[in-house]
Amino acid sequence: MARHKKIQDYNRWYYLLRHYVDFALKLSYRSIRYVDREKVPQDGAVIYAPNHTNALMDALVILAMDKKAKVFVARADIFRKPLLAKIFTFLKIMPIMRMRDGIDEVKKNSETIEKAVDVLRDKVPFCIFPEGTHQTKYSSLPLSKGIFRIALQAQELMPDMPLYIVPVGLRYGSFFRFRSTVRVQVGEPINVGEYLSTHASQTPQEQMNGMKDELAARMQKTIFYIPNDEDYDATYDICAAVVKRRADEVKRRNGEKKMRGMDAYFEANNLTVSQIAQIKEQKPEVAQRLLSLGREASEIRKANNISLSSVSIKYPFWSRVLKSLVLLLKLPYNIPVTILTLPIKLVCAFLFTKLKDYAFRNSVRYLVNLVLWPVLMLIYSIIAFVVLPWPWALLVIALMLPAPIVAHETYRLIRVMVSDMRLLLNKDLRNKYNEIREMIFNE
């Protein structure tokens, strides 16, 4: 009798698709930076526990961390249609109920937990987003207990195999902009067996609560963390106003050649958040003025559609000049390839009207490019070979291949230039950011 095929089993079609998916992901970001991957244990089973900020893109970034297949869980309601359920199963995604679905529905998770344990026993990495839902903020949400129920049951059924919960921090340059950046940091793993042994006198419920607190603390260390309170927007704008100068200081302190830009920005932003918290505690009147400036600047910036990237530029004048020159020089190439990608732009624009959650925009862009651009390339290639001699057709096809990236970079460059000009013309806003910088660096 043939063995029932398990979700973690090898599938050649999955692995063929995986190469293309990973390649498309790399093209979707200007830079993807993985930090401390060596912390992922190799001597046992692993449960990845990332923060959740960018819908499908979070899972894809975790998947691309290495060449291993990984099994994920996703909210159960998207599995209701049989065809979608088959697709998600092929992609190694299992359904899980959430508390918002009701206590009766959550009780149905026992089958998912059993399958998750089976995945871990086969030493296939398992990934669950312990926050249970996503939010497009540089902050964190309370952790659900599903990941710990799986961990406790798995450890009980495989006492001779080490089991680790590995916190992972995802930090996007922008949640909504395509071709942004993403930094992925692996945190200190929790050895589940050791933790249970150390806390053997506690009840399972107490053990889960303790692990939850420990994981939350370790996850927070891997992300750019701003407390999600009434000062969030003000703090975010203050960080952007000073990040360039502070990142330069961090690089000098750590040796400029040894430190990547994204790592310096990560440390610089967290230093600023810590400094603001310290000012709040020690100098409440100064903090009140600082946060008031940050709040006012945030409101003005958003009302005038000014990007934070414009705020953080160290030399805005020369940056604007350089961007303008680059755009002008590339226009003869950028215009035709941008026209060729209009179907992608139009399909994305249509699908965006159906979205209630902005966080899914990058996921939609990624999927549309993944599916539609190969189809368009096939159509354009046929047309090229019909109307041109084959050497010219090959040249045209080669020039068309990077069209989605070129087109998007053209849109981005124009958008940033317009944003820079708006900031240049808004003296009041520039004065607020200058005062913020003076207060931060004079404290």
* DSSP letter assigned to residue 54: S
pLDDT in tens, 237-276: 999 999 999 998 888 888 766 677 889 999 999 999 999 9
231 HSE (CA, 13 A, CB side): 17
Judge whether 127 and 8 are in contact, CB under 8 Å: no
Residue 167, SS3 per DSSP? strand
Cβ partners under 8 Å of residue 402, min gap 6: 337
* DSSP letter assigned to residue 5: P
Low-confidence ranges of the chain (pLDDT < 70): 1-3, 97-109, 256-258, 314-320, 443
The pLDDT, as a whole number, for residue 168 is 97
- Sign of the dihedral through C-alpha 59, 225, 419, 251: negative
Superfamily of domain 12-220: Glycerol-3-phosphate (1)-acyltransferase (3.40.1130.10)
- Sign of the dihedral through C-alpha 413, 138, 212, 101: negative
What is d(CA 50, CA 164) in angstroms, rounded to the nearest whole number? 13
Place of tokens 């960080």: 239
Judge whether 79 and 88 are in contact, CB under 8 Å: yes
The pLDDT, as a whole number, for residue 1 is 45
What is d(CA 159, CA 120) in angstroms, rounded to the nearest whole number? 12
Judge whether 380 and 363 are in contact, CB under 8 Å: no
CA 357 distance to own-chain centroid: 15
- Nearest in space to 363 (alpha carbons), one of 59, 67, 64, 70: 59
The pLDDT, as a whole number, for residue 414 is 86
The pLDDT, as a whole number, for residue 3 is 58
Judge whether 69 and 124 are in contact, CB under 8 Å: yes
What is d(CA 443, CA 438) in angstroms, rounded to the nearest whole number? 8
